[in-house]
A = this chain, B = another copy of it.
Amino acid sequence: MKVDIENPVREASNKGESKRQMLINIGTVIFTQKGFSSTSLDEIVVSAKIPKGSFYYYFRGKEDFAIEVIKNYGNYFSRKLERILNDQTKSPIERLKAFMNEATYGVMRYEFKRGCLIGNLGQEMASLEEGFRIALLDVIRDWRDRIEACIEEAKQIGEINVTLDSNVLSRFFWSAWEGAVLCAKLEQSEKPLQIVGEVFIDQLLQPVSIVN
Contacts and interface: CB of A to CB of B under 8 A. Distances in A.
Interface of A: 33-35, 37-38, 113-115, 119-120, 122-127, 133, 136-137, 140, 164, 168-169, 171-172, 174-180, 182-183, 185-188, 191-192, 195-196, 199, 203-204
Contacts of A115: 123, 125-126
Given A37-B37, A199-B204, A178 B168 contact: no
A114 B35 CA distance: 16
A179 to B, nearest CB: 3
A127 B33 contact: yes
A133 B35 contact: no
A212 to B, nearest CB: 17
B125 A199 contact: no
Contact of A35 (B37, B186, B196): B37
A114 B126 contact: yes
18 contacts: A34-B127, A35-B35, A35-B37, A37-B37, A38-B38, A114-B126, A119-B123, A120-B123, A122-B182, A133-B186, A168-B195, A172-B199, A174-B183, A175-B180, A175-B192, A179-B179, A179-B180, A179-B182
